[in-house]
Chains A and B, each alone.
Chain A
Amino acid sequence: MDQGGSRKIFDACVRKEVGMSHQQKTNVWYQSSFELFEKSLNGEATTPLHAIRRGALERFHALGFPTTKNEEWRFTNVAPIAKAAFTPTFGLPGHIPSAKEIERFSFGTPHRLVFVNGHFAKDLSTVGKLSAGVALTNLATAFKQHRDLVDAHFSKYAPFDENPFVALNTAFAQDGAFIYVPEGCQVDDAISLVFVAVGSEPFYIPPRNLIVLEERAQLQIVESFVTTTNASYFTNVVSEISLGRDAVLEHDKLQHESLQAFHIAAIHVRQKERSNFTSNSIALGGSLVRNNVTTVLGAEWCEATLNGLSVGTGTQLIDNHTTIDHAKPNCASHELYKAILDGKSRGVFNGKIFVRTDAQKTDAKQTNMTLLLSDDATIDTKPQLEIFADDVKCTHGATVGQLDENQVFYLRSRGIDEKLAADILTFAFASDVVNRVHVPALREQLEFLVHAKLNEGRKS
């Protein structure tokens, strides 16, 4: 959509503002944006897929943006998102970054899909040699070329009846990554998905990813959210993942958005027998960040490992909510979430573990550790275990602390200055999460970015 068009809608909304509640204003805004979106679809608005979008928009209107009265959003006030009029776009912007600027987010792999403001940038993307049957393309293309797969999986794992952000993402779902790995196929190189935000407008960017691994398929994915702007845009991403029997997926995420941006993300996973899912989620950017990672261990002998690292400075708010649903017996889950908080930043961790009546012999372990580097930084941490089976092993623990004085002194007494000592110890705290990433080039980037971010934070 051209800028003039979006401006007009916004003005229309403002004119109608008199006498409208916030919720109404928001609804009018996204409703009129949606109508523009439908026009951009050129007749595709009659497909079953579009019926899902319409349903999602309706649901969003009914739910509205959550307030802090909603238990799920108690510590995270999204009013700044609700108040702003973020502008959806329906095509690539005029200016896109150069391939050179994107290169470092390839992480040494031949497969890279790039999305600019949520739209597939074919010219920046590269797909190396892949085994027969593997599909790696953008979702808009998959809507046409892989209709059966899309119908079978799209919007099947990320329910939008309770979560307004998933509803809003689904309503505007146009593009994102589509990855399909057939039975028994192991993709050797990692696939890098790069979401880059550009431009100075308050854009609404709703990428939607669909990742399907059939039986015994294996894959590593790196999702990175990066930017060339310091604008206040709004990324609202949903990734749906289906893992067949014995499938193995490592999903790494690097979130390095603008410090003015809003980033709301949901990863929803459905696991079959003996499948193994690992999520490594690294959050560095954003002014308000919410990550939901939800996996349903829907068959026996599944394993899920959820790791997270947040590095907050300034006034950032980084909120991680995880949900592990042990629906069947003999599954294992491990969670390690760490936060390093400096300045006036805030962290939230909420780890939900359901163990259903059926799920005997569940083995679930959850650890949340926070390092507070300043007196003004805060963390709200809450384990939430709901256990309905009796023969299970569930442990959880949370620690909050500062840098250890003895360690700092030990380093200084060997000649290392105070600042470097703090840097080394802080990075050491982060390292066991960083080391769980199995893409070497990403691990190197992370070391660099975490160090750089901490130094920046200390300067300001």
Chain B
Amino acid sequence: MLEIRNLHASVNGNEILSGVDLTVRAGEIHAIMGPNGSGKSTLAQVLAGRDAYEITEGEVLYEGKNLLEMDPEERAREGVFLAFQYPVEIPGVSNSYFLKSALNAIRKHRGLEDLDAIEFLQLVKQRLKLVDMDESFLQRPVNEGFSGGEKKRNEIFHMAVLEPKLAILDETDSGLDIDALRIVADGVNKLHRKDNAIVIVTHYQRLLNYIVPDFVHVLVDGRIMKSGSKELALQLEEKGYDWIKAEAEKSLTPA
């Protein structure tokens, strides 16, 4: 589904991603962990099409197509979804209007008719339940005045409505209380199918108890330094990241 090869990205001449390689197949769940500032969000944003980053090397294939050539909206219509680490507030635009515009744009791309007001309302009400959100959030302006946890929950609500093929969740767990974490994780699990894939960026092993990853990757200094099974997350929880850096340095230092 997704193939990232030797991806380099920089901002104002500073390289942030320095050769990322990652392959994600349909049906898989991948977790990306790594220290603050290592480039996790940058990777997520680059995949979603943020043009603030300059791609200096490498390629990204999504379902065999060159992802980097597509506009952000085209990626979304093709099924890529990013749950933002910092969801953006949009005063004056209701959550429901926003979602309806997004959903209908995606449906049009897939050759489907617009949903009418009643069908749309049925759909969103059902998906709100998935993340245990109140209907009042539909009429509120997107993320404006939402608490930190509500914003994160709202991202998963959007995901539930838009049904992406490749969902990238950037620290969706941070800011969620213990109950909310379980609810959101349950929601994500329900949305996970054989024909879609999920990439979760997180700092905490706790989330991975609920959403069990097939692979865990460690991103350090803009590169995936180590990949492993879900046990790797437990190791990181226990030992931190230094040993991975040390290991990597050892392998890089000429003998």
Contacts and interface: CB of A to CB of B under 8 A. Distances in A.
A417 B92 contact: no
Interface stretch (B101-109, B220-228, B236-244): B101-109
Contacts of B98: 411, 414, 424
A406 B88 contact: yes
A428 B101 contact: no
B82 interface: yes
A424 B93 contact: yes
A431 B49 contact: no
Contacts of A420: 101, 105
A407 B11 CA distance: 20
A-B pairs with lowest CB-CB distance, top 3: A428-B92, A415-B76, A414-B102
Contact of A432 (B73, B88, B92, B103): B92
Contacts of B97: 424
Contacts of A424: 93, 97-98, 101
A429 B97 CA distance: 15
A406 B89 CA distance: 9
Contacts of A431: 92
B92 A418 contact: no
A425 interface: yes
Contacts of A425: 90, 93
A448 to B, nearest CB: 15
Contacts of A406: 88
Most chain A beta-carbon contacts within 10 A, residue among B72, B82, B141, B158: B72
B192 to A, nearest CB: 20
B49 A412 contact: yes
Contact of A428 (B48, B52, B90): B90
Interface in A373-427: 405-407, 409-418, 420-421, 424-425, 427
The interface residues of chain B, by DSSP majority, are classed as helix
A425 B72 CA distance: 17
26 contacts: A407-B90, A409-B48, A410-B88, A411-B90, A412-B71, A413-B73, A413-B81, A414-B76, A414-B81, A414-B99, A414-B102, A414-B162, A415-B73, A415-B102, A415-B105, A415-B162, A416-B105, A417-B73, A418-B73, A420-B105, A421-B73, A424-B93, A424-B98, A428-B91, A428-B93, A428-B141
Interface residues of B, number: 31
The interface residues of chain A, by DSSP majority, are classed as helix
A413 B90 contact: no
Most chain A beta-carbon contacts within 10 A, residue among B50, B52, B92, B97: B92
Contacts of B102: 411, 414-416
Given A406-B88, A412-B72, A412-B73, A417 B105 contact: yes
Nearest to A420: B101
B90 A416 contact: no
Given A415-B102, A428-B93, A407 B162 contact: no
B84 interface: yes
Contacts of B105: 415-417, 420
Interface in B26-48: 48
A424 B142 CA distance: 12
Nearest to B91: A428
B127 interface: no
Given A414-B76, A415-B102, A415-B105, A409 B90 contact: no
B8 interface: no
B77 interface: yes
Nearest to B80: A413
Nearest to B87: A410
A406 B97 CA distance: 18
Contacts of A428: 90-93, 141
Contacts of B73: 412-413, 415-418, 421
A421 B76 CA distance: 14
Nearest to B72: A412
A410 B84 contact: yes
Nearest to A414: B102
A415 B92 contact: no
Contact of B72 (A407, A409, A432): A409
A147 B123 CA distance: 63
Contact of A416 (B49, B81, B88, B101): B101
A421 B50 CA distance: 15
Contact of B76 (A412, A418, A427): A412
Contacts of B77: 415
Given A418-B73, A420-B101, A413 B49 contact: yes
A418 B76 CA distance: 13
Contacts of A417: 71, 73, 105
Nearest to B104: A415
B92 A427 contact: yes
Given A407-B88, A425-B90, A413 B82 contact: yes
A143 to B, nearest CB: 45
A302 to B, nearest CB: 30
A413 B72 contact: yes
Nearest to A405: B52
Given A412-B76, A416-B105, 9 more contacts: A407-B88, A412-B49, A414-B99, A415-B76, A415-B102, A415-B103, A415-B105, A418-B73, A424-B97
A429 B162 contact: no
Contacts of A427: 92
